Structure 1
């Protein structure tokens, strides 16, 4: 039987974990992007790179879904799509499901930009963490984030 103080402790620990997760999402992303000295981060905005990352993960996505995933209005997504399309990084095609709908996908050049930014981010984060984390901590990090990814994916599918 779980006692009230044990439940309170678990709730407190979970709230602390959530706050840490939010801090890392907000400030960690900003720190990483601002501290990477790579041409791709001077050429493209973090919003554009984020959009291309989403498209890369989903392969094809609607503008509405992009807006939802980026937490912005459809007009902001529309502007980003136009700019990236004019640069030959994304292509817009009609949806098979809806005559009015569109799907967005990356071009080969767009995927190369995503690969370049991923490599730069990975190298940078590896440099930040390599001296700070033990092998066991990295294994625990992976275990927890795999579990979080599974939980978040399930929640995403319900939406």
Structure 2
């Protein structure tokens, strides 16, 4: 195995895991107190997919269906998501409500401001462009690979 790829995967995971914790600890915003990181991630995935089954959400979040069930129940109680019936009565899809979209927009804004501040102090424009180019390429590869 190419050790650079191994290191890249480890670094990506490190940024993902510790970055989320650091943002939550560092950003003083009521949104982070009201919603768990997993709930915010669920909203983000539902928003990205448009409509999604609980089973797919569980796969994307890497958790058991029961964890997603608890998460979505809380989000429904807060009226951030709703269940949409499809032509197939057995299939139920989750989608964001307007309130859910507003929470997600606020979360995205908070995160973007924090990351911008963090990067502006330590990352130059050329490095940001390189980062974007690599992640755009990875995103394209992942999408064409059926992820």
With normalisation by structure 1, the TM-score equals 0.87
Match of 1:43 in 2: 34
Residues 126-155 of structure 1: per-residue CA shift (max 9 Å, x gap): 111101111111111110111111122223
* 1:30 aligned to which of 21, 31, 39: 21
- How far is the alpha carbon of 1:23 from its aligned partner? 1.1
Could you say what secondary structure the match of 2:122 adopts?
coil
Please state how far the C-alpha of 1:72 moved relative to its aligned partner.
Answer: 0.8
Task: Give distance in 1, aligned partners of 2:6 and 2:35.
Answer: 35
2:94 matches 1:104: yes
Question: Structure 2 matches for 1:4-153, cutoff 5 A?
Answer: 11-96=2-87, 98-153=88-143
- The offset of 1:51, in angstroms, is 0.4
Deviation at 1:29, TM superposition (A): 1.9
What is the alpha-carbon root mean square deviation over aligned residues? 1.3
Question: 1:97-139 deviations in whole A, cap 9, x for unaligned?
Answer: x321110000000000000000000000111110111111111
Between 20-29 and 125-134, the greater mean CA deviation after superposition: 20-29
Gaps of 5+ in 1: 1-7
Question: What displacement does 1:42 show?
Answer: 0.6
Structure 1 stretches (4+) deviating beyond 2 angstroms?
none
Please list every run of 5 or more consecutive structure 2 residues that lacks an aligned counterpart in the other structure.
none
Aligned residue pair count: 147
